[in-house]
Chains A and B, each alone.
Chain A
Amino acid sequence: MSYNVNEKGYYGEFGGAYIPEMLYPNVEELRQNYLKVMAEPSFKKEFNQLLKDYVGRPSPLYFAKRLSETYNTKIYLKREDLNHTGAHKINNTIGQILMAKRLGKNRIIAETGAGQHGVATATVCALMGLECIVYMGEIDIARQAPNVARMKMLGATVVPALSGSRTLKDATNEAIRDWINNPVDTHYIIGSAIGPHPYPDMVTRFQSVISEEIKWQLQEHEGRENPDYVVACIGGGSNAAGTYYHFLHEDDVNIIAVEAAGLGIDSGESAATSVLGKEGIIHGCKTLLMQTKDGQITEPYSISAGLDYPGVGPMHAHLAKTGRAEFMSITDDDAMKAGLKLCQLEGIIPAIESSHALAIFEHKTFKPDDIIVVSLSGRGDKDLDTYINYFKL
């Protein structure tokens, strides 16, 4: 079985490009060019150079000794939190800005929820001197003030999404509408492994540097390339896609995908799409999404803004459906506790998104000699307010 995208843009039954005709030329231009451009030696050279000198890659693969002792197994952390701008998001925005330049685009748009992807996009636009417009739900603008300020300092225009529920999914709608209105000069940098084909595949390829590095780093640490498990949290699924990519077809590697259960799967306040979602269409692709019986997309909930998305990327829908990945869901409370535990055991303050992935050790027992690589997708600076409020610090 293949877990990669096929030539029509599907992962099994999921994916495709369910887009209005107005978007067809933009998406088609990208589809016809993305693999060609990514294969150009000059593109690879520039991409790798920026990842090294600007982002600070390779990110360390760190053996978390005290955490491992606590859970009596071997836990490695893939330190995406140490990247410039503090998360894995920048791997994708570097790749896409280079893509946009090669396609002759001079105006960049993006959506953002918590503001992480918005900051990563504003950063690369400043780096390349391109105009940057970031759509952000009005409600998110109010609750993520520091990231809004960062984007502004980096020269981006932040446009509030006033429609629908005024959060991430609506910001995504607004970005897509902007692209419809500006089909020629604009590139849309999607922030996760979602959207119409070729976006999920393109974003996955840019993020696949994560698992590429894990392989040789684990070889150095353990004398083997393959861990027993790779673990990542899933919002739309970009850090997870990058973490899994080079292990998808390695049968000895188990894949664990961690979703946000919010206040609990059955609470009505959750973002656990693989449990609560059903096949449908969101933002141009067929995938699993949270919706009413009537097919209206519903508003998810998680304490972590980055996991607060009503769908998952089509690759993950396929991994869920085929059973290739084991899906777990972690509540707000469990994630917050796991985050604090990492601070105290390892001196690392994780993003709350990443804390979800760390929380599985409370729910699943591993063998002492199992090697588990967890994607530490981001650092917790952006979440300080949430940590302060939650723990009354």
Chain B
Amino acid sequence: MNRIQQKLQENKKLLSIYFTAGYPNLDDTVSIIQDLEKNGVDMIEIGLPFSDPLADGPTIQASSTQALKNCMTTEVLFNQLKDIRKTVQIPLIIMGYFNPMLQYGVEAFCEKCKEIGIDGLIIPDLPVDVYSEQYQSIFEKYGLINVFLITPQTSVERINFIDSISNGFIYMVSSASVTGSQSGFGTEQTDYFKRIAAMNLKNPQIIGFGISDNKTFSQATEYAKGAIIGSAFIKHLNSNGTRSIKSFLQSILIDKK
């Protein structure tokens, strides 16, 4: 069984953290991953930076721009991660846009992920239909779980289709927005969380976009298996540096000790 699937079976709410590889400094990638695991994170999304990240808000964009300036590339990231499984056990997911993967070669990319011990991919601009027609067999060959997004606007029919071809979790985007644009959830969002929970999908859901603190994390995990924090973590790195990862996570997991 894939590490993601194993993790999803644990009887707890999961905290997943997104960060941009190569940010704030090119060589921070591995130590950030290690610190996150040490301080109670269940799963990590490693952002492969892209010049034109359509689905991301200003915080993640700016971190991607900086990471590219720091000379992060697909090749460099794979090199940084080559021994990561000697020290890190939790599931690792690469989140990136499709063009850099296409240029690396989709099969070569997947093969490399398997070699390193990456468990899954999130590719926001690789649509479900293109994936299922052209790439699903490659992902499966290398044991990679591909994670799809749903939003409040996604139709029931499409959610069911996405559920049918997923084999890990479904990434529930909390509202119609790019990353980082929300602060707190209102009834519109909680109604949507409830509606999806009531669908009893085959795949558990993890909520992302707009999770920033203990309050939004608790709200989201009331309805879902877990939650993903991205922009809030990057902002924290911005203002407090990598040494403060522990205090950030303590503030999120305050009542889970």
Contact = CB atoms under 8 A, between A and B. Distances in A.
A293 B51 contact: no
A264 interface: no
A176 B126 CA distance: 16
Contact of B50 (A20, A21, A296): A296
Interface string A240-281: 000000000000000000000000000000000000001111
B149 A20 contact: yes
Contacts of A18: 98, 125-127, 130
B219 interface: no
B167 interface: no
Given A16-B130, A164-B61, A181 B150 contact: no
A22 interface: yes
B55 A180 contact: yes
A49 interface: no
A180 B178 contact: yes
A293 B100 CA distance: 9
B51 A21 contact: no
A28 to B, nearest CB: 9
Contacts of B101: 295
A298 B74 CA distance: 16
Contacts, number: 115
Contacts of A25: 151, 153-155
Nearest to B53: A173
B80 interface: no
B57 to A, nearest CB: 7
A93 to B, nearest CB: 23
A291 to B, nearest CB: 7
B176 A180 contact: yes
Given A181-B177, A181-B178, A294-B103, A281 B54 contact: no
B232 to A, nearest CB: 18
A297 B51 contact: yes
A21 B102 contact: no
Nearest to A27: B127
Given A181-B178, A282-B99, A173 B149 contact: no
Contacts of B153: 22, 24-25, 183-184
A320 interface: no
Nearest to B72: A294
Interface residues of A, number: 36
Interface string B53-89: 1110110011001001000011100000000000000
A284 interface: yes
Contact of A24 (B61, B62, B154): B154
B178 A281 contact: no
A66 interface: no
A291 B149 CA distance: 27
B176 A22 contact: yes
Best-surrounded residue of B68, B103, B126 (most CB of chain A within 10 A): B103
B149 A22 contact: yes
A295 B99 contact: yes
A295 B102 contact: yes
Please indicate which of the listed interface residues A162, A169, A280, A294 has the most CB atoms of chain B within 10 Å of its own CB: A294
A280 B173 contact: no
A5 interface: no
A344 interface: no
A16 to B, nearest CB: 7
A390 B92 CA distance: 54
Nearest to B171: A21
A227 B65 CA distance: 48
A318 B54 CA distance: 25
B124 interface: yes
A281 B176 contact: no
A102 interface: no
Nearest to A18: B125
Interface string B167-205: 000000100111001000000000000000000000000
Contacts of B124: 20-21
B9 to A, nearest CB: 26
Given A24-B154, A181-B181, 9 more contacts: A19-B125, A22-B55, A25-B151, A163-B58, A164-B61, A281-B97, A281-B98, A284-B54, A295-B104
* 7 nearest A-B residue pairs (beta carbon): A295-B103, A295-B100, A21-B149, A20-B124, A296-B51, A20-B55, A25-B153
29 contacts: A16-B130, A18-B98, A19-B125, A20-B125, A24-B127, A163-B58, A164-B52, A169-B52, A170-B52, A173-B53, A173-B54, A177-B55, A177-B57, A177-B178, A180-B55, A181-B178, A181-B181, A280-B102, A281-B102, A283-B54, A284-B54, A284-B125, A291-B99, A294-B73, A294-B74, A295-B50, A295-B74, A295-B99, A296-B100
Interface of A: 16-22, 24-25, 162-164, 169-170, 173, 176-177, 180-184, 278-284, 291, 293-298
